[in-house]
Structure 1
């Protein structure tokens, strides 16, 4: 069977939603959990569109809330497949908020969701490859691959962690170590 490859733009998804008072937290800003929920939805849509299968969220990497979002702003999320493995995809998501009165836009968040494609029985299924058409697409693919590699190294695994080997690092931080062997 010949492997299928798709252009990144074939799976891209964009959604926009007006932020309402019901989406706020106790400080009157849009709740981060609400934004995360929308991000999970667009990651699912993008991954499912690419794989033509149901997809589940395996992990979320690097969620930095850069700027708060106000009631009445139009939030736009753009999702692209940045990386594909055998059954998984890294979906890059950019979140922008626009003041609809002034037209001023601000970048509020970028994040990376790892999604896994599933068949009707819940088994992992292979996903199509990517055709990288631009410098940006190549950079995003390699950056995602590097991030996955670093995450797999797991420097501080519980089974092999020795406190004595790392105490010198803690001296540079605002902590008191009261641990006794």
Structure 2
């Protein structure tokens, strides 16, 4: 039996239809790519259809230009019963130079579901390296922070 796939990188060229009025790739296109990578990563880990339940901490660090080679890397950093917390990093470069630069990063939480849309259990990810353990601990801290933010946000519901 093969082990689940923990990470994935999607690569493609930024196209003219991805550009905003300022001549750079717009944030909505980047967020779509992030969601696609998170889905591919979570489906690879769980062997199930997965849905996005949270995307947060999205930080746009530098712009992406038309013609840039874009890499969207996704990796599992925490698993719950049915959820998978995925760290996303977006890098871009001129394909002639291959000098990658960070453009965006965030956390996405996906949930594996069955045919009727009900959450189903996913394999447990166990951190092994020091970096994995640090990211796992950070995911737990972020969960606690999101609970507090969620409580505060109830005023808007």
2:10 paired with 1:15: yes
Q: TM-score, structure 2 length as denominator?
A: 0.91
Aligned length: 152
Residue aligning to 1:44 = 39
2:100 paired with 1:96: no
Per the TM alignment, residue 157 of structure 1 is displaced from its structure 2 partner at its CA by 4.9
2:55 paired with 1:24: no
Specify the structure having the higher radius of gyration (Cα).
1
Over residues 5-45 of structure 1, what are the superposed CA-to-partner deviations in whole Å (9 max), with x where a residue is unaligned?
A: x67xx321111010111210001101110111011011011
Q: TM-score, structure 1 length as denominator?
A: 0.79
Q: Distance in 2 between matches of 1:129 and 1:158?
A: 31
Residue aligning to 2:152 = 156
Q: Distance in 2 between matches of 1:157 and 1:87?
A: 24
Per the TM alignment, residue 101 of structure 1 is displaced from its structure 2 partner at its CA by 2.3
Residue aligning to 1:35 = 30
Q: Tell me, which stretches of 5 or more residues in structure 1 are unaligned? A: 1-5, 160-181
Residue aligning to 1:136 = 131
2:78 paired with 1:61: no
Task: Give the 4+ runs in structure 1 shifted more than 6 A.
Answer: none
SS of the aligned residue for 1:146 comes to: helix
Per the TM alignment, residue 153 of structure 1 is displaced from its structure 2 partner at its CA by 2.0
Task: Let me know the Cα RMSD of the aligned residues.
Answer: 1.5
